[in-house]
Amino acid sequence: MNKLLLFLSVLSASTITFRALHRATERAQAALVSHEVEWEAATNRLAELNAASVSLRNEVKVKQRRLRQASSHPKVSSELLSLLEGQTFDQHSPAWTELRDQLGIGWDSSDDYVLVSKRVLKQIGFPRLLSASRATETACAVLAISDDEQSGIRAALQRARDLAWSRVQRTKPAGDIVAQYTIPSDPLLENSISNNFSADITAVLGTERADLFLHHYNQGWGELKHAFAPNGQEPVTMTIRRSVVDGEPKLSCDIRQGNSFSSEVIRYANYPYPWFDLLFPGGWEAIAQREGFEFPKDFKTQQ
């Protein structure tokens, strides 16, 4: 009996002790989980504080830089202030130069570019056409002419060339004459070419750029007219003759306009007047092919 009581007592004590240890273990585990949660929260908070600290440092640096720039920025003159407030309209005021400097677009701001107003641009002369076949690189840069617009200009020039060629009169070769063309003066045709060309360029570039390209200081169309039409009111006759000089065949080109006359030996890639290259874009070779005559063997190498 006593042993049974002793066993029950020991069992009861063991049970109580086990439960106490179990509860202690649960409390320890709960405390550990709580500490882990608190540690994770603290870690996240620390990361947020570090990020905020970096952001604040960057913001301070930006403000310090702006402060230095503001403190070193030159003062605005009364003339510039009047210009900005719309109280002066003097186009030659030094305030314009000051304004460009303040905006960082003054003369020394770039090695390659300088900003000018459209008013000034209208007074600047530069070549618009290259051999009356396309817009020059300068014109493309100044007027921001795109590749598609350049193609449109080429097409307009070709249409003008076709109209100019329509007045050229061909004479059938005879004797020592292997080719002969006469270019009559035709003001009405020139006026038609001018109007059509202006309309074509305006359609390609728009009114403002077309005006700069064509008409200002007689640019654009003036270049084209000089290339398409010989000067003067009298017709121009170009005659190509075959002859023999010192036993060698030679070709010469005679140009006659009224009382004016010139003659020279035909040389490769050497053309008498600007209008020749436009009316005969294929050069001497194209004329020879059209008229059926041959060049001397040393044509491309003779000086």
> Could you report the per-residue pLDDT of 249-286, keeping only the tens digit for each?
889 999 998 888 999 988 888 888 877 877 888 889 98
R_g of the chain computed on alpha carbons? 45
**DSSP label of 175:** T
**Neighbour-count burial for 19-48, b at 16+ CB within 10 Å, e otherwise:** eeeeeeeeeeeeeeeeeeeeeeeeeeeeee
From residue 278, give the alpha-carbon distance in Å to each of 130, 132, 285.
11, 7, 14
Kindly list the distances between the CA atom of residue 75 and the CA atoms of 40, 133, 294, in Å, as whole numbers in the listed order: 54, 51, 77
Mean pLDDT of the chain: 80
Question: Cα-Cα-Cα-Cα dihedral of 266, 267, 273, 277, to 10°?
Answer: 110
Whether 165 has a pLDDT exceeding 70, the answer reads yes
| pLDDT attached to residue 11 | 57
Residue in 281, 298, 278 with CA at minimum distance from that of residue 290: 281
Beta bridge partners of 249: 244
Q: Indicate the pLDDT class of residue 187, thresholds 50, 70 and 90.
A: confident
Query: Hunting for tokens 């023999």 — which residue is that?
Result: 244
Residue 214 has pLDDT above 60, yes or no: yes
* Distance (Å, whole) CA 219 – CA 195: 15
Residue 226 has pLDDT above 80, yes or no: no
Mean pLDDT of 29-42: 73
Q: Which residue has the tokens 């540690």?
A: 39
Query: If pLDDT is split at 50, 70 and 90, which confidence band does 15 have?
Result: low
Residues in contact with 190: Cβ distance below 8 Å, sequence separation at least 6, in sequence order: 225, 228, 229
Q: Give 286's strand partners.
A: none
Asked if residues 149 and 205 have their Cβ atoms less than 8 Å apart, the reply is yes
Percent of the chain with pLDDT strictly greater than 70: 79
Higher pLDDT, 34 or 140: 140
Domain boundaries, given as residue ranges, for the chain:
78-115, 129-291
Q: 139, 184, 138, 150: which is closest to 164 by C-alpha?
A: 184
Q: What is the distance between the alpha carbons of residues 262 and 276, in angstroms, rounded to a whole number?
A: 14
Closest CA to 205 of 128, 117, 132, 115: 128
Residue 276: Cβ within 10 Å count:
20
Average pLDDT of the segment spanning 221-225: 70
Instruction: Say if residue 217's pLDDT is above 50.
Output: no
Instruction: Kindly report the backbone phi and psi dihedral angles of residue 128, in degrees, each rounded to the nearest multiple of 5, phi listed first.
Output: -95, -35
Question: Is residue 223's pLDDT more than 80?
Answer: no
Other residues' Cβ atoms within 10 Å of the Cβ of residue 181: 19
Burial of 275 per CB tally in 10 Å (0-12, 13-18, 19+): buried
